[in-house]
Chains A and B, each alone.
Chain A
Amino acid sequence: MSSAREDILDAVRRAAGREPLDSPASAALDARIITPVRHLRPAFDEDLTVRFIRKLESRSGTVARVADRAQIPAVVETFRSAHGLAPRAAVGAGLKDLDWPADWTIHYNRAGIEETLSVTPAFAGIAETGTLMLLASPDSPTTHNFVPDNQVVVLETARILRHFEDAWAALRERTGGMPRAVNLVSGPSRTADIEQTIQLGAHGPRRLHVVLVD
């Protein structure tokens, strides 16, 4: 008995009325994978940072801007106390060098079920839709993006790119290949599954706060 794989591929080829592709045809398609076709992208004139903030805020994200990295803990503290959260957080190891308040309980591990706040570095921002791009790594565990009720994401303003395609290009240039998970996050978690009424905090964070570092 032939394998399911062969049966399916054979059926697909029969449908196309041909044998497996010869090597020139196959090479042409591989070239199309290596050098992606450039598709039409939504045009806009707006400043990238202005647009990123406007789009993210339109989906209930909040944004704070700081002049340098050293100010990040203070912004997180303001956010934490404004929402009455306990002084503890899961912090991405990429932010270990910052001067976190001594009276906080901080860890650099994955987010556990009781986690209320995470602080995580983003790889890039996408101005087109006000979207954050977070890459899974020991410095930025995926659970930080989904488990806690509150997430603060740190993004360098210079890392705000125009379109999704620019973010893919940046990803391809990076060493180490494709990360296990690439999370594109465009706001707090939401649902409209009950009577089409939008409600924040369905399963992921109910609050998403972005610290833009200029």
Chain B
Amino acid sequence: MDIRSHEFQPRAVAALRDTSLQQALDKARDGFVAKRAVQVAELSEFEALREAAKTLKDHVLDHLDHYLERYEAAVVAAGGHVHWARDDAEARRIILDICRRVDARTVTKGKSMVSEEIGLNTALIDAGLTLVETDLGEYIIQLAGEAPSHIIAPAVHKTREQVSDLFEQAHGGPRLTEIADLVDAARLALRERYFQADVGITGGNFLIAETGSSLIVTNEGNGDLTQTLARVHIVTAGIERVVPTLDDATLFLRLLARSATGQETETYTTLSTGPKRAADLDGPEEYHVILVDNGRSRMLAGPFREMLRCIRCGACMNHCPVYGAIGGHAYGWVYPGPMGSVLTPLIKGLNAAYDLPNACTLNGRCASVCPVKIPLPDLLRRLRHEQFKQSITPRRKRRALAVWHLLATRPKLYHALERLAARALAAIGARAGRIRRLPGARGWTDGRDLPAPSGRTFLERWQAERGQS
């Protein structure tokens, strides 16, 4: 997928004015947050599990080479194949080679964010293959010719009316408007595809070194149909997805479903280990895993290592006020929200995604809900610092920061100017109690009113009130 993160500002403004998008976001926002809160309240061990998961993931990252080797050996012992891909191009090439070798025509795909990251869909279609996304959300956006806007709810930006339109175009009439009918229509449309598929591609939530299994969680069952009915099953996963044992995977599973969809467990958790056995009546004839690095080993070496603990639950974006206001597409690449604002610059380059680390109020909600305790605001702040060091920060902003530095290190001057500003703003906004337009601060007032200050600074009030007591 081509990166468009450099267009973040205009796309964010357009998103705020997109009424369908705003309707869809309104419906999604509170649901995710409320459902998670219920599950977290019901599990008294939740906080302790978060700490344990953080510790476990750090242990795995410290010994990633060993666990990857053990995992690989276990996959091979079960009759599967492991392929290593340094970057997105190498991963695409490996998958296309497999498709060509088995003479594939139809490829079904379960949800896989790594496949988005490596731009797999375009590569498969360009190679003349028929590609069918099977997750309902992914199917909807494939019909719309769009990318996912959320890592676990890819079509969260679509309203029911928009889905009705897309299905009418794709499947023919009559136009369906009930959600039950729309789900049935997709079920029917995809059924034959599963059986026709030559290759089925899924992601891997966890890779288990103990058994050589890949593990996926879904609610729909589409991932299972994809990987069971195709002749060849290909798993795409980042190298950081390996865990030592089934028990270790369980620790993460208890956090994942609650953090992601606000459920105690997802409906289906599936472990796949190698291809069909001799006596089996179903299952794929070949089983392949593509271990994708694509910037991860680089991340492991530096100050952004903690980002590799991410288990892709989406809780950070569900709780992010910026994501909640503009949705995922404005971020311009595969991973949106707080985790995406860290990952995108690290994978695609600081220059390619300048705005993302800056499109954050550092309110900290994301870090407070992260099941593996990634300090997302700290990482975003560090990215800003890196941008500044590498002179990627625009000149205007650097100048503004220099002025800020000048004032902030001279308290007397600072307080004098602050008093002046407080009084001036109070005078401007005296009548309405708010300021609708402020030259020099259009970035703020174009989107919302600026509340008029009382006329006195915080320090003045503090001193006055302390004097009274």
Contact = CB atoms under 8 A, between A and B. Distances in A.
B297 A12 contact: yes
B183 A146 contact: no
A186 B266 contact: yes
Interface centre among B24, B78, B229 (most CB of A within 10 A): B229
Interface string B239-262: 100001111101101100000010
A9 to B, nearest CB: 5
A21 B200 CA distance: 36
B309 to A, nearest CB: 14
Interface in B255-296: 261, 264-277, 279-283, 291, 293
A2 B182 CA distance: 51
A105 interface: no
6 contacts: A8-B291, A13-B65, A171-B246, A181-B271, A202-B221, A203-B136
Contacts of A129: 264-265
Interface of A: 3-5, 7-9, 11-16, 20-21, 26, 29-30, 32-33, 36-43, 55, 59, 109-111, 113, 129, 131, 136-138, 141-143, 145-147, 163-165, 168, 171, 177-197, 199, 201-205
Interface centre among A59, A143, A202 (most CB of B within 10 A): A202
Interface in B22-61: 24, 27-28, 31-32, 43-45, 48-49, 52, 56
A181 B229 CA distance: 13
Contacts of A12: 64-65, 68, 239, 297, 300
A129 to B, nearest CB: 4
Given A21-B63, A142-B282, A190-B220, A168 B27 contact: no
Contact of B244 (A26, A36, A38, A59): A36
Nearest to B195: A113
B62 interface: yes
B425 interface: no
A180 B277 contact: yes
Interface of B: 24, 27-28, 31-32, 43-45, 48-49, 52, 56, 62-70, 78, 83-86, 90, 134-137, 140, 153-156, 158-160, 163, 179-180, 182-184, 186-187, 190-192, 195, 209-213, 219-222, 224-225, 228-229, 239, 244-248, 250-251, 253-254, 261, 264-277, 279-283, 291, 293, 297-298, 300-301, 305
Contacts of A142: 224, 228, 282-283
Given A15-B297, A181-B272, A141 B265 contact: no
Contacts of B221: 146, 189, 202-205
A9 B267 contact: no
A177 to B, nearest CB: 8
Contact of B66 (A21, A111, A185): A21
A15 B300 contact: yes
Nearest to A165: B247
Given A40-B52, A179-B273, 11 more contacts: A14-B297, A16-B63, A43-B45, A55-B264, A59-B267, A138-B280, A146-B224, A178-B271, A180-B277, A199-B183, A202-B220
